[in-house]
Structures are given as C-alpha cells and as structure tokens.
Structure 1
Amino acid sequence: MSAAFIAGEAAGRAVPVVAGVLGAGGVAVAALPSRVRMRGELRKRWRTWALAAPLFLGAFFLGRAGAFALAAGLGVVAMGEYARMAGLPRGERAVLGVSAVAVPGIAWAAPGALDLRTAGALLIAAAGVALFAGDAAQGFTRASRTVFGLLWIPVSLSGLVLLGDTAVAVGVAVAFGDVGAWCGGTALGRRGLLSRPLSPLSPNKTWAGVAGAAAATAAALAAVGAFSLVLWAAVLVGCVLGDLLESMVKREAGVKDAGSWLPGFGGLLDRIDSLLVALLLTMVVTL
C-alpha cells in the first residue's frame, strides 16, 4: 500500500472529526453574547480555522505531491516572516527561500538523500553569503540565524512529506492542542499552582494551558486512530516548546506577531510554531 494512499486514508478519517469540532465551535462562537471581550477575536480565529482545515487535509488527498506543495507553500511564507524578524539581508533571505522549497522537494523526490550530505550543504549555504561578503562584524550572527531558520522551518516541514499518515495526525492534534491550551488557561489558569507561567518568555502561557493541551492532543490522536504514548509526548512537547521558541524569537526582534495578514493569529508563524517543533520531534521518535 502506497504512502500516498495511506495519507489519504488518514485524512479521510480526520475529516469528520475536524468537521464536527469546527461545526460545534462555530455554533459556540456565534452564540457568544456581545459583552464577551474576545468575541470578535474568537470569530476571526474560527474563520481562519475553517479555511485552513480543508487546505491542510485536502493536500494529503493528493498524496506526497500534495504534501510537498503544502510544505513548500508554508515554508516560503514562514521563511519570509522569519527573515524579517531576524533582520537578515537579501542574500540570506534568498538562501532561506530556496531551501523552503528544496528541502521538502528532496523529501518528496529522494527521501534517502536527507542525510549528512544535505546537512553539510545547508551549513555551507547558510554561511556562504556572509563568508564571501567578508562580513567580519555580523557574519557569524547572520550565519547562525540562517542555520536556525533552516532547521526550524524547512527541515521541520519536510515531516509533512516524510511522515505520511502520521503527519495528518500530528497536524490535527497540534490544532486541537492549541485550542485546548487556550481553554485550559482560561478555565484553570487564574489562580493556584496551575496559574504559574511556564517561562518569562510568554507570561500568559501557564501550566493550566499545558494541562488543556495534554487532554486535547490525546483526544485528537485517539479520534483519528493514531494514539500512542510516544507520539502524544512528541506532539505535546512540540505544542509547548514551539510556542515558547517563537516567543523568544519575537522578543529579541521586538515584535508582537510574526505578521498581520492572518485574521485572529497575526502571521503564519504564529499559527504553525507548535506544528514545526511537533513535526521535528515526531520524526526523531518515529523515523
């Protein structure tokens, strides 16, 4: 049985789960009274979810080619947002943009080539622009930020191609985990031990949110028939660390959001930060 067929099967199992949750969420958001402070914001987020869900799941019905197109599209946009936050010059931006397509492309066409040879090529590409420019003042900073961007975004997104049906489960679970974290933080994070922040990087992220994410990710994986303790742990840690990691990048860059074009979220990186780390950790524990 081909990986493309398996991924399509997994997406088929996920469709009724996602549709049911979106439907229930839409009713709940529409019924919110006008005095609720976040009513408008929640409605924007629901509309974004309603558009993103069919795009994400639909890509996997097209098999590995669809997964590649999804990874490359997400990568190009996310790389642009990251390059702006990192203050990278044009040369490094070009390296990141090309890699956003090339790395998932290798995962699609020749997955066995994603090894130390690819790692070496990425390292040379990341440092090459500053090396040949002779930048003694900022060259190391430029190269380091480029290497980080390459590992964080295109290497992680290659998991959409390499993981097959597991990528579908991870994507759905991360989406549920983000919602669960918000619900848990809102309901349980006002007082007590669970109200303690996870990190000064993001004071609004509390242990109550982790509890909510843990429950939601477990439920999502079980609903799509993919639950295992190892996969659940990878997704949960990805949900927690992914958000904190992007907060670290944004704080140094002095920005609130990675962008402003995605209603209810800001930029694409603000939406997929948890997915990136979850995919990377899932590849570590499953491939």
Structure 2
Amino acid sequence: MTSSTLAPGLADAARLTPAEARSRFRAGLVTPTAGWSRGYAQANLIAVPREYAFDMLLFAQRNPKPCPVLGVLDAGEVAGPLLAGGDVRTDLPLYTVYADGEKVTDTPDVREHWRDDLVAFLVGCSFTFETALQDAGIRIAHIAQGTNVPMYRTTRRCASAGALSGPLVVSMRPIPAGQVADAVRITSRYPAVHGAPVHVGDPGALGIRDLDAPDFGDPVAIGPGELPVFWACGVTPQAAVMESRPPLAIGHAPGHMLVTDVKDAAYQVP
C-alpha cells in the first residue's frame, strides 16, 4: 500500500502497533479505524447484560456471516487475549450506548455507563481483509477518500434467537467490475471476518434505496466501471439491539473499531 492509496495523514496511522493505536484512542482521539495498524485484525464490539448474553451468543451462532465471534469476555471483564493490557471501555475511538434500544449517546469513554454484569462480544470486522484487497491492487474507496465505510440496513432478516431479532446490515465497497472476482476470492479466505460478499450489484435487491444515504457511516463516490459490492457487517448485532430493545447495550460506533493484537493472517484460511 503506497501513500497515494491512503487519505492524507493515514500513512502514519497504518504504521502504528495496535497498542499504540489503542493508546491514541484512550487519550481521546476519535476517528474511523479503516487503514490503522496495517496487518492487524479489527473487531466490532457489542456488550449486553448477562441475562441477554446467551441470546446474543445464539444469535451469532445462527448468523455467522454478519456475527463471527472472535472472543467473549466474562461478565464484567474489560480485557482479554485480543487486547493485552487493554480496556474495552476506553480503547476504541468511539462507542454508542443504547437504553431500551434507543441511542443514548456516542462517547469515546464508556466507563460511566459500564456495569459489572455486561458481557462483551468481539465480532469479526471486514476492515481486517482490506489489507489483502489492497495488496492485490484493489482500491478501497473509503480509505482513499478519507471517509467512514458506508453501511446499510437491508430487508434480509437474520435468524432470531431468544429475545433478539433484527435485519442484516451490510457494508459496501465499490470495486471495478474486472476486479470483483478477485475481491470475492480474496475475502472468501477470511470467514472469521465476514468472508465473501453477500451481494454484488443492484442495491435494490437488498432493499437499499439510495447508496448516497447509508444508515451508518458515510457515502463514498462510485467511479465509472465500478460495481457496489456488499459484505455482511458486524453492526448487525446493534441493529438487533435497536429492534429488540434490551435495557442496556454498548457497541462500537460504526466504523470505529477495536484494533486487536492478532495479525490479519491468523484469520486467513488456505
């Protein structure tokens, strides 16, 4: 990846270690994390009260494409193998707090909202395979344009689990038509971070009316000869929270991920 493929200022962020990146976020830096700590996996966060934890685990098991679980912390735990010496309450750049399914706030520090009965799930993120796409010469529009990845609620329903139900959420990257097959092949080798796309082309087939009006993140420009390619997205559990309305839930703000200590290659299959 050359500096010409990065938004201004992102080259330095790509060279940071995960611990260095997390320290920046802990100090208050708020920014989407696509392109940060090149070569290291990123993860979505969703934390729910213990009484909802089994339902969330079952929801993930029944919907492995959007909800591939990389790790689960015990109730009240804030650190684990994916972030040695870290803290899931402070080490992401931005969080979203929900009460009864309604967004209460976006905040860079959730310690005041945290409870000892919260169980944190770390879910695979498609930012993880973006390095492999770039290494193959596939431009990532939101990184090049310096924006957050666009994400959309779809009309596809996830399999319900206990008290949880909701729609599939997808992220979108415009890919030149001649490189779509390569993008499918490359990302299919990363099943732990959503794997191959769920749809290519017409957004209407997913119930998406306007690519310029994402439900989360920012719109990106789609160039001539590019097709919209959609991957399952780890914001899906938050869509389930919004629909199912548990009394409390804490997630990453979409696009503002946990940068883990695990190499991308650890989630690649032959």
TM-score (norm 1): 0.26
Q: Which has the larger Rg?
A: 1
Larger relative contact order (C-alpha < 8 A, sep ≥ 6)? 2
More helix by proportion, 1 or 2?
1
TM-score (norm 2): 0.27
More strand by proportion, 1 or 2?
2
